[in-house]
Amino acid sequence: MKIARLRINFYTTHQEKALRWLGSSFHDLLDFPAAARREAGFQLGRPQFGLDPEDWKPFDALGPGARKIRIRDPSGAYCVMSVAKLEEAVYVLHCFKKKSQETSQKDKEIATVRYRAIASQRKTSS
């Protein structure tokens, strides 16, 4: 009887970053329908390991590294605004249901205030 040799390769990915929710973003995500909530969780998990979400675009109006992750669901379109470029964590700034093609001024303002809070906190802690 001949025994086959197996070669096992281990690949490591980036260490998982923490996920930090700002303001009401976690509770806002809980208001999404179950399928959209599950997809948002999956898409937020990707940057925790150094990968890009599948459907996103930069949202530089907030600041460097801000992203808008798009979630499509039969009940509508949803967005998760986040910052993943920082070493210590992926920050979730804002979660909301899209009501039009363009992001509303109110949603932009909420995300901007939270982005500035991160920047301010990082300045004081360094």
Element (H, E) at 103: none
d(CA 20, CA 88): 10
Averaged pLDDT of the chain: 90
Chain-centroid distance of CA 113 in Å reads: 17
Query: Where in the chain are the domains?
Result: 18-99
- On the question of pLDDT at 9 being above 60, the answer is no
- On the question of pLDDT at 7 being above 90, the answer is no
pTM for the complete prediction? 0.84
pLDDT at 122: 83
Q: Where are the alpha helices (DSSP H) in 31-81?
A: 34-48
CATH classification number, 18-99, choose in 3.50.50.60, 3.20.20.10, 3.40.50.300, 3.30.2310.20:
3.30.2310.20
Summarize pLDDT for 27-60 with one digit per residue, the tens.
Answer: 999 999 999 999 999 999 999 999 999 999 999 8
pLDDT at 10: 55
Q: From the CB of residue 46, how many other CB atoms can be counted at a distance below 10 Å?
A: 16
Mean pLDDT of 91-99: 96
Q: Residue 21 is which amino acid?
A: W
pLDDT at 43: 97
